[in-house]
Amino acid sequence: MLCYNLYVNKYYGDGEKVFMEEIYNSEEEFLAAYNSDNFEKLSLTSDIVIFSVSSEEVDNYRKNEKKSMSVLLVKRTTYPFKDKWCFPGGFVKIDEDLEAAPMRILKRETNIDNIYLEQLYTFGDVKRDPRMRIISTAYMALIDKNRLDTLLNSAASWFDITLLEEEENIVTIVLDNGEKKIKLIIEKVLRDKTTDRYTYKVIENEDLAFDHAKVLIAGIERLRNKVEYTDIVFNMMPEFFTLKELQQVYEIILNKKLLDPAFRRIIGSKVEKTQYIKSGEGHRPSALFKYKNTR
């Protein structure tokens, strides 16, 4: 029995032919005759947002540690956006699985591999890349940069994140690596009241390439939304930690102070006390805890 695929010839005013009549006896025959040039091409990239919360020693008699959240950026050496900063990223190969691309790109651009990754969002604004129509699938990675056992590539640098939310739905982000400061002002626009989902409008951005200001705020929002009800935060922690250190990480990510009872409710079932203590910081030794992986 013959299998027919029948389409009606149709033309628009500009002469574009959108349908054509074709009859095939099998799928193999159809594929052999198929011409992908009948359709416009687009490309796919993968971008990786890498967050870390790490400690910096403060020079005082108590030897306290100041914690900060940071993100890894790469300085572009070619056009477009030459000398601007962006997330590690690159094109997905034609014969490459989508999930394999970010790990390959991450290793090539930063020398980092074997870390936690999750898909963040797909960014497809028509003019997001000046070269051609390029869609990006972004991923989020979480690490403790103090535990990295590899040197970063020379173009990669950690930027500390300062987040200010002084006006409703207006977010100011300052990225600072000690030599370069990047200021971003982003408006959160409510897209769907039923799901409380937002889109983002960039008001100020001079030094972050492509649409990576939107990618950054989307990553921060995802991290915040997941940190209270998942164990995602422990990808950013050392093996052993005090409860105070863990609370500081939660507060940095959520950008707010947590009352002790609220914090205990969040982490009560996620950690377990060890036999170790942390001392030598100018105050009473603290018990060390570790992540209780129940999966």
DSSP 178-229: SS-EEEEEEEEEEEETTTTEEEEEEEEESSB-TTHHHHHHHHHHHHHHHHTT
Same domain, 110 and 253: no
Same domain, 92 and 115: yes
Same domain, 215 and 247: no
Same domain, 13 and 114: no
Give the whole-angstrom CA distance, residue 162 versus residue 227.
Answer: 18
Q: Omega before 80 cis (within 30°)?
A: yes
pLDDT tens digit sequence for 108-126: 999 888 888 999 999 999 9
Same domain, 247 and 118: no
What's the half-sphere exposure (Cβ side, CA atoms, 13 Å) at 57?
Answer: 9
Which domain, by its residues, includes 203?
43-227
Same domain, 71 and 10: no
| Per-residue pLDDT at 158 | 94
CATH code of the domain containing 91: 3.90.79.10
Same domain, 244 and 147: no
Give the whole-angstrom CA distance, residue 121 versus residue 124.
Answer: 10
CATH code of the domain containing 285: 1.10.10.10
Of 291 and 16, which is predicted with more confidence?
291
Per the structure, how many domains does the chain have? 3
Same domain, 107 and 215: yes
| Cβ-proximal residues to 74 (8 Å cutoff; 6+ apart), any chain | 85, 86, 87, 88, 109, 110, 153, 155, 156, 157
CA 41 to chain centroid, in Å, comes to 26
Residue 195 banded pLDDT, cuts 50, 70, 90? low
Same domain, 16 and 66: no
| Per-residue pLDDT at 40 | 87
pLDDT tens digit sequence for 25-69: 899 988 998 888 888 889 999 999 999 987 665 555 455 567 789
Same domain, 252 and 179: no
60 and 70 Cβ atoms separated by less than 8 Å: no
Same domain, 170 and 251: no
Same domain, 244 and 145: no
DSSP letter assigned to residue 237: S
